[in-house]
């Protein structure tokens, strides 16, 4: 048997991070078993349909690296892969259920249903459809048909017994059939509900395993009985644990904001993680650890390493919170391991968005030194601001001196540094580091260059947080470094403490 799984989002908005975790687990399971990962768009809820949402969902999945083997854009042997393009199939099988006595036409209007619910509340009865159209006589039904009344098609749920839901994560779950209502399968506009469409599609697309969020667990008895009514073998079910807010308080809902323990709003949209400077490799690593564990106390791993280990039975059914602090740590680890060119290319769009024109050569010079301090890609912006802004730094002598480098020593150090920059025939990392270390040893009281290097970095960049001195001077270039040093020396010349 070839494993075939599907991710079937509705284009009613963005890709929620919980949905991304569902897609990831399906993808991992397919890749582990050399199976097929299918993307299907379930767009039958036309009231909540959002134009452009399908393209955005697909773009987010591509960014994550979750490639599909069949889907609306690439086709496949069981298409079309958009439910609104499969309406005739649903109508055919809904009519088949009616003909076989497994479903019936319901003529109740919205007014009828409202009155029914109000009566149930008044009598303190269970709220739900009372099956009144299920028991219409052939004559009553013919009369309604003759009136041309619109109708939906409802499933005739077994009234007795129980349904056993075999779940690979949770074991067998038993639900009394009396607790399940006669759900609508086909709406009055001819479009199917989720219940009919996904059962029909999963059968004809030969889906072998359904990995979906546990919020759908309550629909499993209906779906299993639909499979039985059709005479079809049902797929293997695995209901994934609910994803909680980072605070652990409540479900990470698609329609509410999420907050961490400190009350800070956090990301819930996949596009927000992308825009926030998270790497897809880090986000996948993070999501794989939400409800599943690589084992051996390993926190950082690639998908190539994780897929062979992935087992449905190893997924913890308990609700799982999102530890966003761990995501930042993971992202920092991946940033540190990136090649300078790749990291520079990843950082450039964020610099562009901030309005900074990037000199690629300068960026490559400082990237290796600053990547150890980065957690997210936009962290590069404050580090590199000195490369793009030439406004006067407005420093005073106090900021440019040190207890190991008082006024005269500091001024001498900056003057020597300027002389070096202006006259050295070779201006590269080795020559800069050799010269600055030597100057620092000469002008500090303790003969150690550390104090000079720290203050010199502040003088050159004007920033308390920046790349190391040598890389900063090289990235800034000879002419701009001279200009910065001239500005610093002017501060000393203008100070009354001049001896």
Radius of gyration (C-alpha) of the chain in whole angstroms: 33
Q: How do beta strands 152-155 and 103-106 pair? A: antiparallel
List the one residue out of 274, 305, 273, 481 whose CA is nearest residue 390. 481
Residue 443: CA count within 13 A, CB half-sphere: 27
Task: Please tell me which residue in 32, 251, 254, 348 is annotated as part of the active site.
Answer: 254
Residues in the chain: 499
How far, in Å, CA of 185 to CA of 495, rounded? 84
End-to-end CA distance of the chain: 89
Question: Token digits for 76?
Answer: 């496949």
How far, in Å, CA of 289 to CA of 272, rounded? 20
Phi/psi at 79 (5° precision): -75, 180
Query: How many other CB atoms are there within 10 angstroms of residue 245's CB atom?
Result: 20
Using N-to-C axis directions, what is the helix angle for 53-64 and 17-32, rounded to 10°? 50
Cα dihedral 123/129/134/137 (nearest 10): 50
Q: Quick check: is 254 catalytic?
A: yes
DSSP state of 216: G
Contact 191, 218 (CB under 8 A): no
Q: Which residues contact 198 (CB under 8 A, 6 or more apart)?
A: 8, 42, 223
Three-class secondary structure of residue 105 per DSSP: strand
Known catalytic residues?
254
């Amino acid at each position: 048997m070839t494993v075939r799984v599907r991710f079937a989002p509705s284009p009613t908005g963005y890709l929620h991070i919980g949905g991304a975790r569902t897609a990831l687990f399906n993808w991992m399971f397919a890749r582990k078993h050399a199976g097929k990962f299918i993307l299907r768009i379930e767009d039958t809820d036309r009231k909540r349909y959002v134009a452009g949402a399908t393209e955005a969902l697909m773009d987010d999945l591509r960014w994550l690296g979750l490639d599909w083997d069949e889907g609306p854009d690439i086709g496949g042997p069981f298409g079309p892969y958009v439910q609104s393009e499969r309406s005739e199939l649903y109508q055919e099988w809904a009519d088949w259920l009616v003909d076989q006595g497994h479903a019936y036409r319901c003529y109740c209007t919205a007014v009828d249903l409202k009155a029914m619910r109000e009566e149930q509340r008044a009598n303190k009865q269970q709220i739900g459809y009372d099956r009144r159209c299920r028991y219409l006589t052939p004559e009553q039904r013919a009369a309604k048909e003759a009136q041309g009344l619109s109708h939906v098609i409802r499933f005739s749920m077994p009234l007795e017994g129980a349904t056993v839901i075999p779940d690979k994560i949770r074991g067998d779950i038993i639900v009394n059939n009396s607790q399940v209502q006669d759900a609508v399968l086909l709406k009055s506009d001819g479009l199917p509900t989720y219940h009919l469409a996904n059962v029909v599609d999963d059968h004809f697309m030969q889906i072998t395993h359904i990995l979906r969020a546990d919020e759908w667990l309550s629909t499993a008895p209906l779906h299993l009985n639909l499979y039985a009514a059709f005479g079809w073998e049902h797929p293997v079910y695995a209901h994934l644990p609910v994803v909680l807010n980072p605070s652990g308080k409540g479900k990470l809902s698609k329609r509410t904001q999420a907050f961490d323990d400190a009350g800070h709003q956090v990301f819930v949209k996949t596009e927000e993680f992308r825009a926030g400077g998270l790497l897809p490799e880090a986000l996948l690593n993070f999501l794989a650890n939400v409800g599943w564990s690589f084992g051996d106390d390993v926190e950082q791993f690639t998908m190539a390493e994780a897929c062979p280990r992935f087992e449905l039975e190893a997924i913890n059914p308990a609700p799982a919170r999102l530890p966003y602090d761990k995501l930042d740590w993971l992202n920092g680890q991946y940033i540190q391991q990136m090649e300078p060119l790749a990291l520079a290319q990843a950082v450039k769009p964020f610099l562009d968005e901030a309005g900074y024109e990037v000199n690629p050569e300068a960026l490559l010079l400082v990237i290796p030194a600053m990547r150890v301090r980065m957690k997210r890609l936009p962290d590069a912006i404050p580090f590199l601001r000195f490369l793009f802004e030439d406004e006067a730094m407005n420093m005073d002598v106090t900021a440019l001196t040190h207890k190991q480098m008082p006024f005269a020593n500091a001024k001498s150090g900056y003057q020597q540094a300027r002389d070096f920059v202006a006259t050295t025939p070779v201006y590269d990392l080795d020559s800069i580091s050799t010269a600055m270390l030597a100057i620092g040893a000469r002008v500090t009281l303790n003969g150690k260059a550390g104090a000079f290097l720290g203050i010199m970095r502040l003088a050159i960049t004007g920033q308390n947080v920046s790349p190391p001195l040598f890389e900063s001077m090289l990235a800034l270039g000879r002419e701009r470094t001279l200009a910065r040093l001239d500005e610093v020396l002017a501060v000393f010349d203008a100070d009354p403490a001049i001896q």
